[in-house]
Structures are given as C-alpha cells and as structure tokens.
Amino acid sequence: MSVIANVGGNTLVIINIVIMLVLILVLYRMQTKFVSFSKRVFGALGMAIVFGVVLQLVYGPENEVVKDSMVYMNLVGDGYVRLLKMIVMPLIMVSITSAIINLKDGESIGKMSGMVIGILIGTTIIASLIGIGVTSVFGLSAADLKAGAEEVARGQFLAHKATEATTASFVAKFVEMIPDNPFKDMTGARGSSTIATVIFSAFVGISALGIGKKKPKSLEIFKDMVNAIHDVVMRMVTLVLRLTPFGVLSLMVKVVATSDVKAILNLGKFVLASYIAMILMYLVHLLLISLVGLSPIKFAQKNFSVLTFAFTARTSAGSIPLNVEAQVKKLGVSEGIANLSATFGSSIGQNGCAAIYPAMLATMIAPTMGIDPLTPSFLIQLVAIIAVSSFGVAGVGGGATFAALIVLSSLNMPVVLVGLLISIEPLIDMGRTALNVSGSMTAGVMTAKLLGEIDEKIYSSTETAEEE
C-alpha cells in the first residue's frame, strides 16, 4: 500500500484502464481466431474474476481509484446492456407478429401461451416451497439480523413503499398488463411493458390473419413486409450478441471489484442458504427437462452463456435477445415459443426474484410473529400469494424487492427485513436473475417439446450455432 500511496491516483486509474483494454484485446484475438462463442464467454468470466479480485485486494471496494476506474471500464458493460435493451422491443414485436401470421393453425398461439404461463407458475410454486424448506433447514430468523444506520433508513423507506406496492389489487395488476398506449409501452416505460407489447403484437398478428379470406393480397403484402423487417431485426440481434463476451468481462469486473466482502461475511449464512435454494431449483429445471424426454446436460451446456450474462448484468428483460437466440439456434425451439417464454418469463413467474426470495423472507419473519411457517395454513397462504403476485414483476434490478414488499405486506408482515439485506442485495440478485432466465428457458423448451415445436437434431447436436 505504501507503493500505491506514492503513485498518483490518475496514474493508477490509467494503469487499470490499460489492463482492461489488454483483456478486451485478448477477447478480440480469440474472436478473430474463431474460438467458440461459449469458450469466449467462459474466458471473459475467468479473466474478469481474476482482475476483479486483484482490484479488490490492492485497493478495496470503496477506494477512489476503483470508483474512478469503473467510470471508464463500465463503458463496455453498460453500453452492451443498453444495446440489448435497444433491441428488446423491436425483437418482441416482429417475432411475435411474424410467428402468428406464419402459423398454419391460428389457435396455436393460445396453446403456446397457456402452456408457457402454466409452466412458469408451476415452477414458481416449486421454487417458493424450496425457499421455505431451505430457510427452515438453516434455521434462519429475522431476529438474528442486526441493522446498521443505512439498513434502518432503507427499511423505513421500504415500509412507505410497501403501502404503494399493495394499494392496487391483484385484479388491477392484470389490467395493467393490457396496453392502453402501445407506443408508450414500446419505450419500456412500465414494469409490464414487455407483456403489454406481446399482447399488442399478438393483436396485430391475429388481425392480419383475420383479413386473409376477404383481402388475401393485403395479408400477403403484410406478411412479406413483416418477414423482411424480421430478417433485419434478427441480423441486428446477431450483431449485438457478438459483443457478449466483452459485456460479461466488463460487468463481472465491476461485481467482483466493488463487492462488500465484510457485509457478505456478516450475512454469509443467508447468502449460502439463498444460493443452495437457487441451485436446488436449477436442478429441478434439469429434472423437468429430463421428464419430457430431453437431455438435461445439453440444456445446461447450451444455456450457459445466457445464464452467465444474466448473472453478471442482473436483468431478465435485458437477457431476452440472448434467451431467444439460444432457444432457437442452440435448443431447436420454434421462434414463436422462444419469444413467448423469454418475454413472459421476464415478468411472470420469476423463480428467483418472485418466489425464492420473498418465500425465504416470509419464513424468517413468521417465527418473530408467533407463526409456525411450516403449518399447512400458512404454507398454502404464502404459496398462493407468491404465485399470484409473480405476475408483472419487473425483469430489472429491484424487481425482487418489489415482489417481497407485495408478499410481506399481503401477509401483514413488517418489511424492514428487506432493508436489512441491502448490503448483499447485488450478490444475491445475480443468482436470482440467472435462475429467472433458466426458468423461462425451461418453460420454452418444455412447451416446444410437448407441442412438437422443437427440432431435436439441433437440441442434441454437439456443435452449437455460433453467430454469423
């Protein structure tokens, strides 16, 4: 540290940026050498962890040198996430519309949607039960947590937010999904914008099919136009996804370098229990995949890069393009189902944010209120509330907090505990987001298999489709 003290802060920042540029150059060389996409993502993850640990050990997470370095080093990661968000709405619109107008059976869209949502809600119920079980096994209790000044302030703020979160009834939440201004939803202005855009796009596609008999020429012109736009948008998606390894590198360096190690150690038992619950739920996803007659190993191999991005970026909505691309090109899922599952899964039935997290918090608080969390009456009530409240949870950072506020308030429980966990929220949210995306991919693959909309040759292939 004495050596560092003698070196100017600006010089150290420049050194860190140069190291980052070297790592980016290594990834670029791997791309020019045609190293596989998955290996580049894995390489980016490894380099980011090593570099992040070095920054953590040399400077510490709160050091000004690290903060100043991140301002520039985050350009790649933040820029990549913004590019992904840029293509989400165009991708949803053209993909859903194109899938509907190219369907031979117009009723298929209803079957697809119903099955996807059913699987998402079913896995949410299982995830909540796992969260309850792991919390009980670990003996976690809200009474064991101590709050600092920041956590207390955060808890008081969330107590006010809880009132706002539960003011609207569950019926109102469903109504909110229906777009009253589709152009506003195309900007992603609301938490339910992605689902609202799906609904609007479905109306456009169904309306187009409706004019097929009376105005077949108009339908053909519309089909050609939508399919042409679809090709352009998919090419745009491909160009953006090429940047995934660079985005993972930047995002992961920030996570590792700026994590509060002391806070993680203080709440280590809760962090460990959370990740065990998430790992168990991921194993449930693999079991469900095997139950429909598909290889869980192939599923795990081919969704690795998607889950890696979701883990580092902490955004289910931003993962939609990667999610769709992996389902279609690597897992052989039809494009319509892939888009429905990726989109619905970003706002409905999130296994991590909307199920495991609120279930664990409710189970921790219950004993402090004289409630046995393992009684059938409490379990049924908690699971039912989690299942219903999982509709419309925003697929971005903070979605889990919103879900927890709704569940705890619905049970008349204090929400201060959510504030007590503020220091480790980013670390847990990484795993939750990856699990959310895994759940949506599980729903897509299972639906495609059950409806005969999957290309098993692509699914079973050793080689995975790389970007063009």
| 289: confidence class by pLDDT, cuts 50, 70, 90 | very high
- 325 vs 406 pLDDT, higher one: 325
As assigned by CATH, the class of the 2-460 domain is: mainly alpha
Residue 125: is its pLDDT beyond 90? Answer: yes
Burial (CB count <10 Å: 0-12, 13-18, 19+), residue 82:
exposed
* Average pLDDT value for residue range 353-358: 91
Q: Is pLDDT above 50 for 5?
A: no
> 187 vs 445, which has greater pLDDT?
445
- 3-state SS string for 113-175: HHHHHHHHHHHHHHHHHHHHHHHHHHCCCHHHCCCCHHHHHHHHHHHHHHHHHHHCCHHHHHH
Buried b (16+ CB within 10 A) or exposed e, 62-81: ebebbebbbeebbebbbebb
User: Each residue of 75-105: pLDDT tens digit?
Assistant: 998 898 888 888 888 888 888 888 788 765 5
CA 138 to chain centre: 26
Q: Report d(CA 353, CA 134) in Å as an integer.
A: 16
Is the pTM for the entire model greater than 0.85?
no
CA dist 354 and 128 (Å) reads 8
The residues facing 333 across adjacent strands are: 454
Residue 449 CB-density burial (10 A; 0-12 exposed, 13-18 middle, 19+ buried): buried
- 451 to 288, 314, 321: CA distances (angstroms): 15, 31, 23
Percent of the chain's residues with pLDDT above 70: 85
CA–CA separation, 186 and 194 (whole Å): 8
